Amino acid sequence: MTDVRVVVPGDIIDTSISAEDGGEETTVLRLGPGLAQAGEEISASAAGVLHNKEETHQWWVVSNRRRYVAAEGEPVVGVVVGRHGEGYRVDIGSAQDALLPLLAFEGATRRNKPNLTIGAVVYARVVVANSVMDPEIECYNSNTGKSEGYGELTGGFMFKCSLGLARHLISAKAPVLNALGTQIPFETAVGVNGRVWINTESPETTVLVVNAIKNSEYLTAKQCRQMVKELLDKQ
């Protein structure tokens, strides 16, 4: 991440690319949540912290809003709420349910496809997100054909957290997950839509992990390690 700054709605965003990056004419910018384009001008549509990733030319605004707004390429944890002829409707916490096609799974065919029940929890990635269509998700990476961790999440426990905390947890350097991982064996799937799924060996450990994650939102890395140690001592 580079060039991080706080923006408010209406701020003009300079996304110019240097010549050594290929120049503006040959580079496609990928705009994420919190940004809007009108003609040649790109501006912030939400208050938050502006992020950009130079190698993929992605720009987005991270804000702790109450409702998730789907963006292409983002991982989400969803709950199946309906089924139709060509797939499922999945609640991902946005204004509209997402569409999950029957064949959007690794190795799925017309004869061999998963049979999800209402209430099933899935880990997926957003592949279609715009203002005129319902979001569409897939439970594998269509670019590689592999599941890469996406799919139905069986067992475990799902809980909600703020969108800001979810985006922090998805980082490989999330201090609370690192601190927990050195002490407790557990599985986790984090969606940027503010939902976290965890699977542990016992209900007591599940409660500990959930409390640790929720308590970590405003703590430093050092404070996270101390908090996890105190929770373990009380167990």
Q: What is the pLDDT of residue 64?
A: 67
**Nearest of 156, 157, 177, 158 to residue 168 by alpha carbon:** 177
Whether 128 and 161 share a structural domain: no
Whether 46 and 111 share a structural domain: no
Whether 173 and 129 share a structural domain: no
- Of the residues 36, 62, 88, the one at which a domain ends: 62
Q: What is the pLDDT of residue 19?
A: 37
Determine, yes or no, domain membership for 70: no
Under-70 pLDDT residues of the chain: 1-4, 17-27, 64-65, 172
**pLDDT, tens digit, for every residue of 84-95?**
888 999 999 998
- Of the residues 18, 38, 62, the one at which a domain ends: 62
CA distances in angstroms from 123 to 12, 82, 113, 128, 152, listed in the order given = 35, 16, 16, 16, 6
- Of the residues 134, 153, 172, the one at which a domain ends: 153
Determine, yes or no, domain membership for 108: yes
| Token digits of residue 235 | 């167990």
| Burial of 29 per CB tally in 10 Å (0-12, 13-18, 19+) | middle
**CATH number of residue 24's parent domain:** 2.40.50.100
Residue-number span of the structural domain to which 21 is assigned = 2-62
Determine, yes or no, domain membership for 67: no
Determine, yes or no, domain membership for 191: yes
Q: What is the pLDDT of residue 24?
A: 45
CA distances in angstroms from 153 to 61, 183, 197, 212, listed in the order given = 29, 23, 8, 21
Write phi, then psi, for 12 (nearest 5 degrees). Answer: -80, 130
**CATH number of residue 163's parent domain:** 3.30.1370.10
**pLDDT, tens digit, for every residue of 106-129?**
988 888 888 999 999 999 999 998
Which helix (H) or strand (E) covers residue 165, if one does?
Answer: helix 163-169
Determine, yes or no, domain membership for 68: no
